[in-house]
């Protein structure tokens, strides 16, 4: 079982790692409840581990898999999250249990 204490994900309000930022090392069922002011995320930097980002709170809606060993963990724009990514709306994030 992987040590999830080492899982780290940085999220940014704007593309290219700009604007307000936050960091997660644990599952977050609701970014708004955590104080993330926007319903959207512009970019992600996956420091370690793999994460599933969901469109709505409670891990519902479209989901995107982001991994530290893919793209060097850099997801600068919504288009890099996956072929079905149309919006930057992300309101919950959890670690992939491996």
pLDDT tens-digit readout, 10-51: 999 999 999 999 999 999 999 999 999 888 999 999 999 999
What's this model's pTM, rounded to 2 decimal places? Answer: 0.88
Q: To which H or E segment does residue 31 belong?
A: helix 31-34
Does pLDDT of 2 surpass 50?
Answer: no
* Range(s) of the domain holding residue 49: 8-95
Q: What is the mean pLDDT of the chain?
A: 90
CATH of the domain at 69: 2.60.20.10
Q: To which H or E segment does residue 32 belong?
A: helix 31-34
- The count of structural domains within the chain is 1
């Amino acid at each position: 079982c992987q040590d999830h204490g080492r899982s780290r994900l940085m999220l940014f309000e704007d593309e290219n790692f700009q604007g307000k930022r936050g960091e997660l090392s644990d599952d977050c069922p609701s970014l708004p409840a955590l104080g993330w002011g926007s319903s959207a995320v512009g970019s992600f930097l996956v420091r370690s581990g793999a994460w599933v980002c969901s469109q709505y709170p409670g891990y519902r809606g479209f989901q995107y898999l982001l991994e530290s060993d893919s793209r060097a963990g850099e997801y600068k724009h919504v288009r890099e999250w996956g072929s079905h990514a149309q919006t930057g709306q992300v309101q919950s994030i959890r670690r992939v249990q491996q």
